[in-house]
Amino acid sequence: MSEENRDVHVTIVGAGIAGLTAALHLAQRGYKVSLYEQKPYLGGNLGSQEDHGTYYDVFCHMFGTWYKNFWHLVEDDLGLERAAHFTPRTSLKYLQKGEFPQFTQLTNSGSLRDQAGNLFSGIEPPADMLLWSYALIDLLTQRFYPDDLLSRYSVNGFMASRPYATNGSAALQDAILMTIWSVHSDLTSAASYQDFIKYGFRHPTPTLWLLKGSSYDEIIKPLQTRLEQLGCEITTNVSITDVMLAQNKVERIRLCSKNGTPQDLPIDRLLLAVSPKTLGDLVMTGTAPQRITDHLPHLTELRRLQAESIPVVTLYFTRTIPDIPTEPVALRGSRYDLSFTDISQAWGNDPRMKGRTVLCVAASDFYALPSFDPKEDGFAMLRELNGYLPFRLGKFWGNPDSDIDWDMSRSQSNSDNTLFINEVGSEEWRPKATYARIPNLFFAGDFCKTTINMATVEAAVMSGLKAAQALWRKAPLGKPIEIIEPDVYPESLILALKLFMAPYAYGAKAWSLASDVPSLMMKGELARSGANLQDMIGLPYAFALDWWKTLWALTQELLPKMKNP
């Protein structure tokens, strides 16, 4: 590789996991790397905020087994042993109000071996559970075309278009999306969600991994230490306000320190790993005709991308709350769409958690919260939580007549740590890692285009790798930057599985329709009972059409392989 590229200086703005990943791989190869972060801490959504020596994670993250690039970063680049820093969980728990301590659970949702147990888990009636599973298999067999308007539909739109779908199966899918991504199924892109499902389906167990400590201690601190060892310059509490071009290249950027002092910084290579909103603003800064949007006009569409806050309360009790499971728990039917994880059981060696329960409580429905004050919103979340779990709350945040250690507990609005929303149509507005028209500019972040698509830690890591790889290709130094693409089951196997499950799925739909008719008639809802009967009449025809279309698709998939074994 050309030694002259050792003088290449890469400026990275944004020290979330995407920016950190890019910085590490470029610094490993000998590039000069400077990293700038607006916040006082590194990691972005994967970061931790320090308060009097205690680290509070921005979010309680769940890491999928199929996150190959993330695990490569952890185990190979940082040399961390997975079992020493992460703990596996094979299920997600659900709790209905008034039923504590009776939890239902969804075990290794992509695993065929666990499907029978999930059918009778009690989360939804068995028929609805079967139809939810079948809908996921069906979704995997669909083909989406970016230039086809009819391919742009939501997860709920997909469910509504399936003749076998029920309200129960659709409700479960909506609950899962709200718990994990803070977005309802009628807004979530079916095309993006398909990618997440097919990768998780290939590596279903364990369902997820939790950290054994704070994000800072387990991931960010080792990553920061390694970057500093490699000579990476890291500056926090500084934000970017302008990007200025000259002769079709980024010439300089303007940074602003916490005290408001601006500084113009000359640029050799620039990698922007900032939020969708920040990037949408930056591409329009500067003076025509040397703005980013003058060269890449489609990037004005970045303003269409949406991101939401997920408020979090780290709740320290003064005692142990018995019967709390080790798995993440979603509270079915809760206001604010609450979920929690008992981090005191995951972080077993933390002395501050000894002898008491510590929950990380998240509110996926930010819009339902009553105010902009973190403590007021946090207390509203705790009031709702108290309807599901038995503990003394008190009448206000800080009330000493409670089971809560208010000095250790913390409420975070996370208004400056938003999660990208995979809305319908968002695929076409997302930026690539780089563009030929501005050759020294690169983009990274979980909203950038990758093969992952759905907003995850893995998507962020891959985007950082793609940006670093694009830069390396233009100015090679050291060994090539490799990206591990997720593996999936062959389409023929998925189609065969759908064929096998189809009779059971349509049978479950018929059972669901028939069992609802008597209760609807007793309630006097004759129109709805009549609609059920009408659907039952058409169901055999819908099944036959679905089955034959699937068989045809399977045949088309297998024929070329039979001709050329």
pLDDT single digits (tens) 292-331: 999 999 999 999 999 999 999 999 999 999 999 999 999 9
Q: What would the mean pLDDT of 456-465 be, rounded to a whole number?
A: 98
Q: What is the CA radius of gyration of the chain?
A: 25
The rounded percent of the chain whose pLDDT value lies above 70 is 96
Q: Provide the CB-side half-sphere exposure for 493 (13 A, CA).
A: 7
**Do residues 86 and 63 touch, judged by C-beta distance below 8 A?**
yes
Q: Are 153 and 74 in the same domain?
A: no
Domain boundary among 386, 412, 438: 412
> Where does the pLDDT of residue 152 fall: very low under 50, low under 70, confident under 90, or very high at 90 and above?
confident
| 43 part of a folded domain | yes
Summary mean pLDDT of the chain: 93
> Where does the pLDDT of residue 517 fall: very low under 50, low under 70, confident under 90, or very high at 90 and above?
low
Q: Are 439 and 303 in the same domain?
A: yes
Query: Given a cut of 90, is residue 436 above it in pLDDT?
Result: yes
Tell me, what's the pLDDT at 519? Answer: 67
CA 23 to chain centre: 22
CB atoms within 10 A of CB 480: 11
| 518 part of a folded domain | yes
Query: Sheet containing 269-272: which strands, arranged edge to edge?
Result: 233-235, 32-36, 9-13, 269-272, 438-443, 434-435
Tell me, what's the pLDDT at 565? Answer: 62
Q: Are 426 and 295 in the same domain?
A: yes
Q: Are 465 and 441 in the same domain?
A: yes
As a whole number of angstroms, the distance between CA 206 and CA 67 comes to: 12
Q: Are 497 and 441 in the same domain?
A: no
Burial class (CB in 10 A: 0-12, 13-18, 19+), 330: buried
Tell me, what's the pLDDT at 475? Answer: 95
Give the torsion sign (CA, 18, 327, 140, 494): positive
Query: Given a cut of 80, is residue 103 above it in pLDDT?
Result: yes
Query: Given a cut of 70, is residue 192 above it in pLDDT?
Result: yes
| 369 part of a folded domain | yes
Q: Are 193 and 336 in the same domain?
A: no
Q: What would the mean pLDDT of 347-356 be, rounded to a whole number?
A: 90
As a whole number of angstroms, the distance between CA 388 and CA 94 comes to: 11
**Do residues 10 and 230 touch, judged by C-beta distance below 8 A?**
no
> Where does the pLDDT of residue 1 fall: very low under 50, low under 70, confident under 90, or very high at 90 and above?
very low
| 116 part of a folded domain | yes
pLDDT tens track for 196-227: 999 998 888 898 999 999 999 999 999 999 99
Between 526 and 147, whose confidence is greater?
A: 147
Q: What would the mean pLDDT of 99-112 be, rounded to a whole number?
A: 87
As a whole number of angstroms, the distance between CA 66 and CA 204 comes to: 8
Q: How many domains does the chain have?
A: 3
What is the pTM for the complete model shown? 0.94
Q: What angle do CA 485, 488, 493 make, to 5 degrees?
A: 160
Tell me, what's the pLDDT at 160? Answer: 94
Beta-strand pair 329-332/91-96: parallel
Domain boundary among 387, 412, 437: 412
Query: Given a cut of 90, is residue 158 above it in pLDDT?
Result: yes
Q: What six digits make up the tokens of 427?
A: 């695929």
As a whole number of angstroms, the distance between CA 220 and CA 97 comes to: 37
| 184 part of a folded domain | yes
pLDDT tens track for 45-94: 999 999 989 999 999 999 999 999 999 999 999 999 999 999 999 999 99
| Range ranked top by mean pLDDT from 72-86, 171-185, 191-205, 536-550 | 72-86
Q: Are 175 and 242 in the same domain?
A: no
Q: Are 394 and 456 in the same domain?
A: no
Tell me, what's the pLDDT at 512? Answer: 87
As a whole number of angstroms, the distance between CA 343 and CA 326 comes to: 8
Q: Are 38 and 179 in the same domain?
A: no
| 480 part of a folded domain | no
Q: What six digits make up the tokens of 453?
A: 């698509």
Q: Are 532 and 503 in the same domain?
A: yes
Q: What six digits make up the tokens of 135?
A: 């809908």
As a whole number of angstroms, the distance between CA 512 and CA 495 comes to: 25
Instruction: Output the CA–CA distances (angstroms, integers) from residue 248 to 7, 255, 435, in the order listed.
Output: 21, 21, 11
| 482 part of a folded domain | no
Between 474 and 522, whose confidence is greater?
A: 474
Question: What is the domain range of residue 12?
Answer: 3-82+213-307+421-474
Query: Given a cut of 80, is residue 377 above it in pLDDT?
Result: yes
CATH code assigned at 62: 3.50.50.60
Q: Are 333 and 266 in the same domain?
A: no
Query: Given a cut of 70, is residue 3 above it in pLDDT?
Result: no
Tell me, what's the pLDDT at 529? Answer: 65
Q: What six digits make up the tokens of 90?
A: 């094979």
Q: Are 332 and 388 in the same domain?
A: yes
| 365 part of a folded domain | yes
Q: From 309, 342, 338, 304, select the one nearest 326 (Cα to Cα).
A: 342
As a whole number of angstroms, the distance between CA 265 and CA 101 comes to: 58
